[in-house]
């Protein structure tokens, strides 16, 4: 129980530090009414509220049989997922959204038992559909990267 509370306290301190870093952020141009710092501050506020609950709740969260144990295989999968997300962040602008999503999505699907052909097909369709949804429908610009030649 003490480790759970210590974990919550450390993450709460990280949230506070990130909130201090996000507070003075100002964009050179205003593209939304509340400004660009509202989203990170809202997310950090929600995370902090949940962490305060974890920190001061009366009983610890107990492990049930429905949850997977934190054995070596599970921790390895978590580590590989974190590495894949870091690669996604690093390749997002140079390769573009679609290619970086394919590069990360297929190994992620394979990591959790997906077969090659369905993984490639589904991740490919999802990458293109999400690009169209964000870039064209919701007007949130996403980078095309190497596929820039396909744009008008």
State residue 2's pLDDT score: 75
State residue 68's pLDDT score: 64
Q: How many domains does the chain have?
A: 2
Do 4 and 60 contact (CB within 8 A), yes or no?
Answer: yes
Domain assignment present for 123: yes
**Helices marked H in the chain:** 2-22, 38-56, 72-95, 97-111, 116-131
Write the DSSP assignment of 81-114 as a string of letters. HHHHHHHHHHHHHHH-HHHHHHHHHHHHHHHTT-
Is 96 in the same domain as 41?
Answer: no
**Paired tokens of 88:** 């996604």
State residue 27's pLDDT score: 66
Is 80 in the same domain as 129?
Answer: yes
Is 40 in the same domain as 108?
Answer: no
Cα distances (angstroms) measured from residue 138 to each of 76, 123, 131, 152: 36, 21, 10, 19
Domain that residue 110 falls in: 72-150
Domain assignment present for 62: no
Q: What tens-digit pLDDT sequence spans the chain (152 residues)?
A: 677 788 889 999 999 999 998 888 776 665 656 566 777 888 899 999 999 998 888 776 666 666 666 788 888 888 999 999 999 999 988 998 999 999 999 999 999 899 999 999 999 999 999 998 888 887 777 888 877 777 66
State residue 34's pLDDT score: 59
Q: How far apart are the first and last CA of the chain?
A: 57
Is 49 in the same domain as 87?
Answer: no
């Amino acid at each position: 129980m003490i480790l759970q509370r210590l974990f919550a306290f450390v993450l709460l301190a990280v949230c506070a530090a990130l909130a201090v870093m996000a507070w003075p952020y100002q964009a050179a141009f205003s593209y939304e009414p509340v400004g660009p710092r509202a989203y990170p501050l809202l997310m950090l506020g929600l995370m902090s509220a949940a962490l305060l609950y974890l920190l001061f709740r009366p009983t610890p969260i107990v492990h049930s049989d429905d949850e997977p144990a934190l054995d070596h295989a599970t921790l390895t999968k978590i580590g590989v997922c974190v590495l894949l997300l870091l690669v996604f962040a690093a390749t997002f602008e140079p390769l573009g959204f679609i290619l970086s999503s394919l590069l990360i999505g297929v190994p992620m699907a394979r990591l959790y038992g997906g077969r090659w052909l369905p993984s490639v097909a589904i991740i490919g369709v999802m990458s293109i559909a999400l690009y169209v949804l964000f870039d064209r429908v919701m007007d949130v610009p996403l980078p095309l990267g190497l596929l820039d030649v396909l744009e008008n």
